[in-house]
Amino acid sequence: MRIALGVEYDGSAFRGWQSQAIGLTVQDTLEAALSAIAAHPLRVQASGRTDTGVHATAQVVHFDTSAMRPDTAWVRGCNALLPPSVAVRWATPVADDFNARFSAHSRSYRYCLYNHPVRPALSATLAGWFHRPLDEVRMQAAATALIGTHDFSAFRSSECQARSPVRTLSGLTLMRQGDWIMFDLTANAFLHHMVRNIIGALVEVGCSRRDPPWVGELLAGQDRRLGAPTFSASGLYLAGVGYDACWHLPASQQGLRLPAIGPGVAPG
């Protein structure tokens, strides 16, 4: 039987999603809890990896098991064994050819940025921070150059293992409320550090170090060395994974699950 899960986690204390020999990853933690419920070792595959310090409100995984358990066991049973920073949101049987990674047609991320002269305390590991005033109109103007199918080499980590730097960014919008700026990005897939490098470039424009056309020039130049520093992982959330209706995932999987931080939430 193949089971799909929706998983939420605070990535602050983890070395990213992917299993490592040293442990301390979300995958290792989740697999230990699931294996205990299944009473046999099992492995999970996720819709995508997240780096050290990156969070998720809507990670999707699948695994195969011979154990017959009600859906509630995979949710409540696992959550009883997981640390407070990781929670299974839902579980459902899926077709044997469903794959959390390869069946997904899009991924969406939200970046939460606290724009204030004084750094936050309570949300120090849950939000990015920039001390100088940022102009969201300038940033949105710059962002338009990134929409579409492009070679995103200029926004790609030198450690990226993707075979191609070409990605289709279908959405990049900004919303400001008070001292909070939310960046919402959707693409068919993302390169390593792609979102954080885009945020870094837009911040350069927002604080007037660069003019909006610079982002388009950076994209065209395909040279990561000319870009802005990679922005903090703290504010980044995997907030949605898109699948076709034929997979019959729960209704709660449709649309974005936005982080419980941002406009209207005191940063400390």
Quick one: pLDDT band at residue 268, thresholds 50, 70, 90? very low
**Average pLDDT estimate for 125-133:** 97
Across 218-226, average pLDDT: 96
Calculate the CA 61 to chain-centre distance.
14
pLDDT for position 164: 96
How does strand 128-130 pair with strand 148-151? unpaired
pLDDT of residue 265: 55
Per-residue pLDDT tens over the stretch 47-97? 999 999 999 999 999 999 999 999 999 999 999 999 999 999 999 999 999
Sign of CA dihedral 53, 59, 63, 65: positive
Q: How confident is the model at residue 241 (pLDDT cuts 50, 70, 90)?
A: very high
pLDDT tens-digit readout, 242-255: 999 999 999 888 88
Amino acid identity for residue 171 in this structure:
G
Per-residue pLDDT at 264 exceeds 60: no
Q: What is the pLDDT of residues 151-192, one digit of tens each?
A: 999 999 988 989 999 999 999 999 999 999 999 999 999 999
Locate 83 and state its tokens.
């640390």
| Catalytic residue annotation | 51
Query: Under a CB-based contact definition with an 8 Å cutoff, are residues 217 and 146 in contact?
Result: no
Place of tokens 């949605």: 240
Least confident of 106-115, 164-173, 251-260: 251-260
**Average model confidence (pLDDT) across the chain:** 95
Position 255 scores a pLDDT of 82
Query: Could you tell me the pTM of the whole model?
Result: 0.95
Q: Which residues pair with 63 in a beta bridge?
A: 3
Q: What is the rounded average pLDDT of the residues 224-247?
A: 96
Average pLDDT over residues 208-236: 97
Structural contact between residues 138 and 202, judged by C-beta atoms closer than 8 angstroms:
no
